[in-house]
């Protein structure tokens, strides 16, 4: 595989691909050689602020060049990365900062009209470990805030630390060191921090690139959020390994995406099925002839959509894939698979994974070198997820055909997918139990034409309206987790052991 730490991959890319474009973000156009220099500067700035190898650096930014530089710079300095979902509320973000003991936070000063850092401060939470806050102005000029640094002020610290020190730190990073902690919501209502090693990030990215036949001739529009492994590991790291140009989009907008495809000659475009449906529904698409590779998944993919992506958008290759934060990418279809196979299955094992089906109804379990190191500070949850034989229990139900293609048939844990984002009903239910008047609650995913699935809350309680319930959720939960519908019941259907029969609630909505 070659290089097995991310600092080594960044250096290797500069040596291999030189001035070829690595990153294009608005006015920012960096070659791989210039990207290395910027990453070194960020690493030196973190070192100047006292960030030590093994410390955690949190980043809550949309898909911009700042995210790329922050992440790679932190890793180059020997720190571990803590990506934060930009849709999280301030309370959810504070929870991650506390539990990861983050020493530094790089945060959007203004994104979609909100000051993310001000909202964190307004919670009144104590963050004794957080010694550095860098506010990145995205929509308005930088305004100084006491106790924080602007992006340019932060970079101005780099000369305080010699380049040789940054190189020494990069050299000291080992393949088994923790590269990142990606938090994923658990069915208990509390998120879990998934620990991955440098070698694992590089390994899954290399496998993804190989399946998609990504090369230095490709230009890759990254709509998938960088705070997800799909955008970060199957996006940024794939670009570094292959020499493909990364073009991030901060917020998906169909017209802006089509303009980027035409202007930047985009050839690689992964995303949730809703992305491609939006592109197909746009009557004036412009020139999309450069499109070559699409990778999708995260929801049911009709064969008709695969055919239209090939015929109307011009994709030579359309692949589906299956992954989860604890293993990133587990299966992928391959170039040459027909539309029915691509739509019906998530492809075959990749990245040296073994995939098997255990028990009844048939849980998907996976084993291999890229299964997570474990959950942050949670050995019990780790032991439940990864058994003594090394099998990761995914919680998904599926089937394998004779060729090893995986078809997902259900979810053990009732998780549903809204606009490409996993939603765990237990987390929403846990939040709603705190609303006065709620005696009992169950949340299920119901079909939605635009988002694939959205939440519907079934509430047993008194003195409440749908507006009350939704307003309560919006204050406490990210938008994609907030249910779109509320139904009031006298009681929830339960079995003899007291478990809610969500199947009955789902069927009632069918």
Domains, in order of start, for the chain? 24-174 (3.40.50.980), 252-411 (3.40.50.12780), 416-509 (3.30.300.30)
Alpha-carbon distance 101 to 269, whole Å? 35
Query: Does position 184 have pLDDT exceeding 90, yes or no?
Result: no
pLDDT tens digits along 461-475? 889 999 999 999 999
Here the tokens at position 501 are 């029969």
pLDDT tens digits along 385-436? 999 999 999 988 889 999 999 988 766 777 788 998 988 787 788 788 778 8
Bridging pattern class, strands 485-488 and 452-461:
parallel
Query: Does position 509 have pLDDT exceeding 80, yes or no?
Result: no
pLDDT of 44 reads 98
Task: Please give the distance of CA 423 from its chain centroid, rounded to a whole number.
Answer: 13
Starting at the edge strand found earlier in the chain, the sheet holding 392-400 runs: 354-358, 363-367, 392-400, 406-411
pLDDT of 2 reads 57
Beta bridge partners of 441: 459
DSSP, residue by residue, 475-504: HHS-GGGS-SEEEE-SS--B-TTS-B-HHH
Q: How confident is the model at residue 188 (pLDDT cuts 50, 70, 90)?
A: very low
Q: Which residues contact 305 (CB under 8 A, 6 or more apart)?
A: 273, 276, 277, 280, 343
The secondary structure of residue 232, as a DSSP letter, is: I
Q: How confident is the model at residue 187 (pLDDT cuts 50, 70, 90)?
A: very low
Contact criterion met (CB below 8 Å) for 17 and 32:
yes
Sign of CA dihedral 128, 134, 139, 141: positive
Mean pLDDT, residues 311-315 taken together: 96
DSSP, residue by residue, 164-228: HHHHHHHHH--TTSEEEEEEE--TTSS-EEEEEEHHHHHHHHHHHHHHHT--TT-EEEE-S-TTS
pLDDT tens digits along 122-131? 999 999 999 9
Alpha-carbon distance 242 to 219, whole Å? 11
Query: Does position 498 have pLDDT exceeding 60, yes or no?
Result: no
What percent of the chain is modeled with pLDDT above 90? 78
Contact criterion met (CB below 8 Å) for 270 and 239:
no
Q: Residue with structure tokens 């047993």?
A: 460
Contact criterion met (CB below 8 Å) for 291 and 263:
no
Angle at 409 between CA 406 and CA 413, to 5 degrees: 115
Alpha-carbon distance 58 to 81, whole Å? 6
What percent of the chain is modeled with pLDDT above 70? 96
Helix (H, G, I), strand (E, B) or coil at 452: strand
Q: Output 423 or 102, whichever has higher pLDDT.
A: 102
Q: Give which of 372, 375, 304, 370 is closest to 342, Cα–Cα.
A: 304
Q: Give which of 405, 434, 32, 57 is closest to 244, Cα–Cα.
A: 32
Mean pLDDT, residues 28-33 taken together: 98
Here the tokens at position 268 are 């690689």
Q: How confident is the model at residue 499 (pLDDT cuts 50, 70, 90)?
A: low
Contact criterion met (CB below 8 Å) for 249 and 26:
no
Q: Give which of 264, 230, 272, 242 is closest to 418, Cα–Cα.
A: 272
- Mean pLDDT check: name the lowest of 29-33, 227-231, 241-245: 227-231
Mean pLDDT, residues 431-451 taken together: 89
pLDDT tens digits along 5-21? 999 999 999 999 999 99
Mean pLDDT, residues 313-318 taken together: 96
pLDDT tens digits along 131-170? 999 999 998 888 889 999 999 999 999 999 999 999 999 9
Alpha-carbon distance 169 to 267, whole Å? 35
User: Ramachandran region of residue 213, left (φ > 0), alpha (ψ -120 to 50) or beta?
Assistant: left
Burial class (CB in 10 A: 0-12, 13-18, 19+), 496: exposed
**Averaged pLDDT score across all residues of the chain:** 92
DSSP, residue by residue, 19-35: TSEEEEETTEEEEHHHH
- Mean pLDDT check: name the lowest of 221-230, 322-331, 423-432, 450-459: 423-432
Alpha-carbon distance 291 to 24, whole Å? 17
- The 3-class secondary structure across 56-113, one letter per residue, is EEEEECCCCHHHHHHHHHHHHCCCEEEECCCCCCHHHHHHHHHHHCCCEEEEECCECC
Q: How confident is the model at residue 186 (pLDDT cuts 50, 70, 90)?
A: very low
pLDDT tens digits along 253-276? 999 999 999 999 999 999 988 799
pLDDT of 298 reads 56
């Amino acid at each position: 595989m070659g290089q097995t730490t991310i600092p080594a991959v960044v250096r290797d890319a500069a040596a291999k691909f030189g001035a070829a474009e690595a990153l294009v973000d608005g006015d920012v156009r960096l070659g791989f050689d210039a990207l290395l220099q910027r990453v070194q500067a960020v690493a030196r700035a973190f070192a100047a602020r006292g960030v030590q190898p093994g410390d955690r650096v949190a980043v809550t930014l949309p898909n911009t060049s700042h995210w790329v530089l922050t992440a790679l710079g932190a890793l180059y300095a020997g720190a571990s990365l803590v990506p934060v979902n930009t849709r999280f509320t301030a309370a959810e973000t504070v929870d991650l900062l506390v539990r990861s003991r983050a020493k530094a936070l790089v945060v959007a000063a203004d994104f979609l009209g909100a000051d993310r850092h001000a909202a964190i401060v307004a919670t009144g939470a104590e963050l004794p470990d957080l010694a550095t806050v860098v506010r990145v102005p995205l929509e308005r000029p930088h305004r100084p805030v006491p106790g924080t640094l602007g992006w340019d002020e932060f970079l101005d610290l780099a000369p305080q630390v010699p380049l040789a020190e940054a190189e020494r730190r990069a050299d000291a990073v080992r393949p088994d060191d923790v590269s990142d902690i990606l938090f994923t919501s658990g069915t208990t209502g509390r998120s879990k921090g998934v620990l991955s090693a440098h070698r694992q990030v590089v390994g899954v990215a290399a496998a993804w690139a190989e399946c998609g036949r990504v090369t230095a001739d490709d230009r890759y529009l990254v709509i998938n959020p960088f705070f997800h492994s799909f955008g970060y590991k199957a996006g940024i790291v794939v670009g570094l390994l292959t020499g493909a140009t990364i073009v991030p989009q901060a917020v998906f907008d169909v017209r802006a995406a089509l303009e980027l495809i035409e202007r930047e000659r985009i050839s690689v475009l992964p995303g949730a099925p809703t992305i491609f449906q939006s592109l197909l529904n746009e009557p004036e698409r412009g020139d999309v002839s450069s499109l070559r590779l699409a990778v999708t998944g995260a929801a049911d993919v009709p064969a008709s959509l695969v055919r239209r992506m090939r015929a109307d958008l011009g994709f030579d290759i359309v692949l589906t894939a299956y992954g989860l934060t604890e293993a990133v990418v587990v299966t992928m279809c391959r170039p040459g698979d027909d539309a029915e196979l691509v739509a019906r299955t998530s492809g075959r094992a990749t990245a040296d994974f073994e995939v098997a089906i255990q028990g009844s109804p048939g849980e998907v379990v996976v084993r291999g070198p890229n299964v997570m190191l474990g959950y942050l500070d949670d050995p019990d949850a780790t032991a439940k997820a990864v058994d003594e034989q090394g099998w990761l229990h995914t919680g998904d139900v599926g089937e394998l055909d004779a060729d090893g293609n995986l078809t997902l048939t259900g979810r053990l844990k009732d998780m549903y997918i809204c606009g490409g984002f996993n939603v765990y009903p237990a987390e929403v239910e846990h939040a709603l139990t705190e609303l006065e008047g709620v005696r009992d609650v169950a949340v299920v995913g119901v079909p939605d034409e635009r988002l694939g699935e959205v939440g519907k809350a079934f509430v047993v309680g008194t003195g409440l309206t749908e507006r009350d319930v939704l307003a309560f959720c919006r204050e406490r939960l990210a938008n994609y987790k907030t249910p779109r519908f509320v139904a009031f019941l006298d009681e929830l259907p339960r079995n003899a052991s007291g478990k809610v029969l969500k199947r009955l609630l789902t069927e009632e909505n069918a």
